[in-house]
Chains A and B, each alone.
Chain A
Amino acid sequence: MNNPDPIAVFKTEALEQLELIEAGLLDLTRDLEDKAQIDAVFRGLHTLKGSGSMFGFDQLAAFTHHCETAFDRVRKGEAPATTELVSAVLDAQGHMLALLQTPNGDHEAMSAKLLDNLHRAVGGSAKAATQETAAAEQSGSMADTSAAGLSTWELTFSLPLNSMINGTNPLGLLDELRELGEAQVEALSDNVPPLEEIDPREIHVSWRVTLKTDKPRGDIEDVFIFVMDDMVMDLKQIATAPAAVAKKAPAPATDIATDAAKQAAANAADASKAPQQTDAKSQKQADNVRVPALRLDEMMDRVGELVIAQSRLSQMAGSAADLGLRSVSEEIERLAGELRDTMMVLRMMPVASLFSRFRRLVHDLARETGKDIELITEGEMTEVDKTVIDRLADPLVHLVRNSVDHGLETPEDRIAVGKSPVGRVHLSAHQTGSEVVITIKDDGRGIDRARVRAKAETNGLIQPGAQLSDQELLQLIFQPGFSTAEKVTNLSGRGVGMDVVKKTIETLRGAIDVKSNPGEGSEIALRIPLTLAIIDGLLVRVGSGRYVLPLSAVEECLELSLEEDLKSRGRSFISLRDDLVPFLRLRELFRTGTQPDPFQKVVVVSTGSERVGLVVDQIIGDHQTVIKNMSKLHDHVSAFSGATILGDGNVALILDVGHLIAAGQHQEAQLRAAG
């Protein structure tokens, strides 16, 4: 099983989140004015609420919402951070843990008591607001339960042959089904082999169950949650009790009908696929080994060190005259390269595991907002490094929520502007070169540039009337505390989500592109490097320092001729096949204080359409670069994205191409402005 149970994944992540919240609160007890901690706690609560409701931990989400509201007021300076508040939220944090461990338990008395404490700590005005939302949430959940009527399901399922060996008890499953409602069970013995071939440890029987229950489909499927991956199951709804339909208001009725139709369609598709999949799966199963991620990480570290040692060896062998040594070194270089590639593949996971989380989210969002939403996913089989997948989950939740909450209009508004009433959120992934691009696209109203500008001006993010390019203006939405939503909803509008997105993508050394056409929707593309650990680099020398450029960004290398050098004193451009390319003298940028080498080289680097030339003293050659992150103490040095260790044990810094290009274009703009 490559895909861990998403609920378990969420629990682990939520536990981490709770730990962070706790740590932040504890820090706050020491220093109540600590703005960074207040933000951190708030972000933690926000994420916990978001992912909690996504995985159906509704009690947890509703409860966390109150704490979040309280902290939001503190963050905005509307209420002071008091010891009472911090300790009330600390108590609440303990309770959240309980809500997480036993999501279906009875926590209401405790929740109410803690919320009371919280309200007393915050003061009156917040109370009214939170109660209002609480009431709204309750009425929402009431509607939900009354919508489910008694329906009859026909369920056929068979388990894999070896499932009893794995500890599955089919009788237990049947008992659980019986608990859901009135069930008739029929055993299908068609596949039972002759007596002499029977292995008593294998299951050859399959079952057909007719079940009358008022529980939703999800509950029936939950019975099989631990065996779902390998079993063949066919679940059909035969009839719905008419009384239940009559009770529903007209609008939700159509809603549910379309849902049911969709589900049926999906089900049919699944059913047709299922048998082949199981065949393939049961064959493959024997060959699969489950390895804890930690061991993979350890192995990755070892491979990283091996690659460093190997590049040391090849440097030594290169300068030695011994032919035998050279051939051994080359052999080891090849092997280390192959080992590295194998290691990379081991860590790759299809993004499907990431995307699958969003079906539930979109479903719930549609219910909460009353919008009709269709989620389309594409390119699920694109593979990305495991760490990237883990870290992308949060930003994607925020982006999808934003698309739904801010982007998509209500069905009435959509019809009014001539669009289909069903809003579409398109989630896709594809690979280009050494990057993976994950795109979240909606066909909503698009980003209102005038409102973004107005908001940024009132927040003091930009000067009134400042000249901004379209992209710069759109990028403002990723600033901390920026939100154009006029009212705070349970979903978004607090302006934290987007800066979480930006921070996470930056730590992954990725970039964000925003496109938006008013009335047609917006598209946010996250460009993330395929791997975080090892890249092919080009080693260059500037002054006495050595630097690494990611080879994937290098377009070409050429010599800076003496006359171009002299000519370009005033206007740092070189002409490259009739194109003017701005260039940066790294020697000046880094203030090396050394004399330039007589024959300087230009390395032309690019990201997509933009390029810049970097003048270096010497191009040393290609280098297998094991990326090491720089510490927080060097956070503010934006010219470098990391560091690596060279063959001789020295450290070389890795140049951040995106930053250098921005610097180059800045210079270009300045020169243009100067005439």
Chain B
Amino acid sequence: MSEATIKADHRAIWKGADEISVLTFCLNGETFAIEAVIVQEILDLLPETSVPGSLPFVGSVINFRGKVIPLADIRVAFGMEAGNVTIDSRIIVTELDLEGQTTLVGMRTDKVFEVTSLPATASEPPPIVGMRWRPDYIHALVKREGEFIILPNLQAIFSSQREPAIRATA
């Protein structure tokens, strides 16, 4: 992706509005935010069933009200260490559009903060250099109270993490 497209893109998520409503949460000390409209529910940790042969990014499935949904760990996409389970750990269930199919996906988080609104004016494109994460995984960075909130591009993350890096053993 060229620099120009990223610059043009970073406010796209606001869709022309002044503010968007987001849910903020913590992963390995970084604050992330996802659009509140795609959030279905926030759950305490549930028993997980690991799926042998799957990618570490979506290594397991959970029972969400009688539906079997994948549990993703976007830390893997950002190259972060898997965090320890604490009393604050939560699963955010989101509704994502994967290849035209609406799919419920659970995401692990270390802690869920709040639903808040972020102004478009505070948005900045992800820097091209000096960042250890893939720039196309990030919609925008939003500056607030002296820190950056990361707006991850879930579409990009989920579509690129789908290609099996490791083949199933069989």
Q: A637-B53, A649-B47 are in contact. Are A660 and B170 (CB under 8 A)?
A: yes
Chain A contacts with B in 585-633, Cβ cutoff 8 A: 589-592, 628-633
Binary B-proximity of A643-666 (CB < 8 A = 1, otherwise 0): 111000111110000011001001
Q: A591-B169, A634-B58, A634-B70 are in contact. Are A645 and B63 (CB under 8 A)?
A: yes
Decide yes or no whether A290 CB sits under 8 A from chain B. no
Q: CB-CB < 8 A to B72: which residues of A? A: 633
Chain A contacts with B in 120-175, Cβ cutoff 8 A: none
Stretch with Cβ within 8 A of A (4 or more), from B21-29, B79-87, B93-101: B93-101
Decide yes or no whether B52 CB sits under 8 A from chain A. yes
Q: Shortest distance in angstroms between B52's beta carbon and chain A's nearest beta carbon?
A: 4
Number of interface residues of A (CB under 8 A): 35
Q: A589-B52, A591-B52, A637-B54 are in contact. Are A630 and B63 (CB under 8 A)?
A: no
Residue in B closest to A24 when the chains form the complex, CB atoms? B100
Chain A-chain B contacts (Cβ-Cβ < 8 Å), number: 92
Decide yes or no whether B116 CB sits under 8 A from chain A. no
Using CB atoms and an 8 Å cutoff, list the residues of chain B in contact with chain A: 47, 49-54, 58, 61-63, 66-70, 72, 98-101, 103-105, 158, 162-164, 168-170
Q: Do B162 and A632 touch across chains, with their CB atoms under 8 A apart?
A: yes
From the candidates B63, B162, B169, name the one contacting A651 in the complex (CB within 8 A). B63
Q: A305-B66, A589-B170 are in contact. Are A632 and B51 (CB under 8 A)?
A: no
In the bound complex, CA of A590 to CA of B168 (Å): 9
Q: Shortest distance in angstroms between B38's beta carbon and chain A's nearest beta carbon?
A: 15
Q: CB-CB < 8 A to A636: which residues of B? A: 54, 162-164, 168
Q: CB-CB < 8 A to B98: which residues of A? A: 631-633
Decide yes or no whether A640 CB sits under 8 A from chain B. yes
In the bound complex, CA of A23 to CA of B67 (Å): 27
Q: CB-CB < 8 A to A305: which residues of B? A: 66
Interface of A is mostly: mixed
From the candidates A36, A634, A635, name the one contacting B61 in the complex (CB within 8 A). A634
Residue in B closest to A638 when the chains form the complex, CB atoms? B168
Q: Do A653 and B170 touch across chains, with their CB atoms under 8 A apart?
A: no
Q: CB-CB < 8 A to A545: which residues of B? A: 49-50, 52
Q: Do B47 and A630 touch across chains, with their CB atoms under 8 A apart?
A: no
In the bound complex, CA of A652 to CA of B47 (Å): 11
Which among B61, B70, B105 has the greatest number of chain A C-beta atoms within 10 A?
B61
Q: Shortest distance in angstroms between A586's beta carbon and chain B's nearest beta carbon?
A: 9
From the candidates B51, B100, B163, B164, name the one contacting A653 in the complex (CB within 8 A). B51
In the bound complex, CA of A308 to CA of B52 (Å): 24
Q: Shortest distance in angstroms between A248's beta carbon and chain B's nearest beta carbon?
A: 50
Q: Do B68 and A645 touch across chains, with their CB atoms under 8 A apart?
A: yes
Q: Do A651 and B49 touch across chains, with their CB atoms under 8 A apart?
A: yes
Q: Do B68 and A637 touch across chains, with their CB atoms under 8 A apart?
A: no
